[in-house]
Structure 1
Amino acid sequence: MDDQPTPDPTMTRIIEAVQLGQAGDPTRARHRLTALWDEIGATGDALHRCTLAHHLADLQDTPENELVWDERALAAVSDLTDERARQHHHALQVRNFLPSLHLNLADVHRRLRDTARARAHLHTARSLAEHLPTDQYGDLVRVGVQHVEQALAAGSTRRLDSHPAAAG
């Protein structure tokens, strides 16, 4: 059996747009991802929707808009199967998406001063992150949980320096 992923032009376009944002052009990245969302649609491929919405949330100018995209990412993951995720990369598992999605929701609810929802999503992110492997991704999520937890405890509503958009 071949472990190589099937080429996916839509994922390639999503990754290219995300890289634009990481390279310092968040406006162009946001426009490209929004156009791709319009092509994919709210009922399109779950991997595309989840990945796109997850990254598009980080490119928003307001926490209210970010929340919309974070919620879309979480909704899309419920339609995603491990089989579909493995078509993109042989090691992907849907359960490994969940800690990051809940972490983002915890953070945006914290910035919107909705501490009850922030704490609920943070609790979920923390418990799910325990099952992540000890690798760069797992460590990144666990550190993110600590940062959001500290900011929540301090009553901070500012965007964290560790937020992906803070680097851009």
Structure 2
Amino acid sequence: MDPENRVDPENKVVRLCVAGMAAEAEGEPARARELFERAWAAAGDDYERCVAAHYVARHQDTPEETLRWNEECLRLADAVGDGRVVGFYASLHLNIAQAHGTLGRDGAAREHFALAAGHVDAVPEGQYREWIRFAIARGLRDQAADGRFAELDALVEGWRERGELTALALVLPALLGDLGELGPPGDGERLVTALRMLHSSGRLPDGERAELGRVIGSLAGGAR
């Protein structure tokens, strides 16, 4: 949820949330929490409470309270039920998924990452949507029951450590945004294509190239 760019900037609750975000950026979490709590207190309807709850959730002391506030935010969005909140759902489900993951509730986390993926196209185009998409994709990879991405993540980490910039530049855009079978047609194929291009480039050591070949074989079966 991005109140500065998605809703009325003159709304009193939005102004308080924007000020809270500025306090976060300035390294003042206590001040940010105060501003977000003031926004919650000032909210006059479900829509304003939904916006405020999203930010209050970011400054809770326990993962249980973080989850509770995120679920309250989702409940309020459902209560609003109109076009003003359509673009919120990807972020709301993402936050709930991450909270469940922190609490070790992997099944619930996977469920909400999948729900987030289903709503990502409703987020207006731009950097914020790309950030949401990347976070969902990473969550889906982390929660993958078959661990298909573990070998690839290890390869990427090795490229990062030795500064293999060409490999990273080729693979990371496709990897970070890949929603797999939950994404649009061709989403998974972009990642496999990028990996195949790297594999055929001859840039990698033989052992690493062989490992990448195994990764491609594993991922290609699920690409669309």
How high is the TM-score relative to the length of structure 1?
0.72
| Deviation of the 1:6 alpha carbon | 7.8
Unaligned ranges ≥5, structure 2: 1-7, 148-224
Residues 134 and 12 of structure 1, relative CA distance in 2, 3 Å threshold: closer
Give the alignment partner of residue 22 of structure 1, picking from 25, 28, 47. Answer: 25
Separation in 1, partners of 2:93, 2:99: 10
- Contact 2:73/2:92 (<8 A) preserved: yes
Once the two structures are superposed, the pairs formed by residues 2-81 of structure 1 within 5 Å of their partners are 5=8, 7-40=10-43, 44-81=44-81
Residues 27-86 of structure 1: CA distance to partner in whole angstroms, max 9, x if unpaired?
Answer: 12112222332343xxx3222211111122122232112111101110111122546x3x
Which is higher, the Rg of structure 1 or of structure 2? 2
Structure with the higher fraction of residues in helix conformation: 2
Letter in 2 for 1:110: G
Give the alignment partner of residue 118 of structure 1, picking from 109, 114, 117. Answer: 109
| Deviation of the 1:104 alpha carbon | 0.5
| Deviation of the 1:14 alpha carbon | 2.1
Identity of aligned residues (%): 30
Match of 1:144 in 2: 135
Separation in 2, partners of 1:101, 1:72: 10
Separation in 2, partners of 1:122, 1:130: 14
| Deviation of the 1:20 alpha carbon | 1.0
Instruction: Give the aligned length.
Output: 138
Match of 1:163 in 2: none
- Contact 1:21/1:59 (<8 A) preserved: no
- Contact 1:47/1:76 (<8 A) preserved: yes
Separation in 1, partners of 2:134, 2:9: 32
Higher relative contact order (CA 8 A, sep 6+): 1
User: Aligned-residue CA RMSD in angstroms?
Assistant: 2.2
Residues 114-133 of structure 1: CA distance to partner in whole angstroms, max 9, x if unpaired?
Answer: 11111111111111114444
| Deviation of the 1:9 alpha carbon | 2.2
Match of 2:93 in 1: 102
How high is the TM-score relative to the length of structure 2?
0.55
